[in-house]
Amino acid sequence: MADLAGIDRTYVSGMERGIRNPTVTVLQSLTDALKIEPAALLAKPDAVLPRCKEPFW
């Protein structure tokens, strides 16, 4: 992911662990790598992926 976005992997790791806060530029790089709109990255999870009514297992 970091490589696709052109971001250092330790920076991405810091964001995942809540140690670093991404800048708008980094968010744009991430959304470009994921091929999604920036709003989708910042939306509440339920707004992007509806909850399953039944367990998947």
Contact of 5 with 30, CB cutoff 8 Å? yes
Amino acid (one-letter) located at 46: D
Query: Would you list the domain boundaries of the chain?
Result: 2-43
Q: What is the pLDDT of residue 40?
A: 85
Q: What is the pLDDT of residue 51?
A: 61
Q: What is the pLDDT of residue 55?
A: 57
**Domain 2-43 top-level CATH class:** mainly alpha
Distance (Å, rounded) from C-alpha 20 to C-alpha 18? 6
Q: What is the pLDDT of residue 18?
A: 92
pTM of the predicted model over 0.75: no
> Which one, of 36, 31, 43, lies nearest residue 5 by Cα?
31
**Which residues, given as ranges, of the chain have pLDDT below 70?**
47-57
Q: What is the pLDDT of residue 17?
A: 93
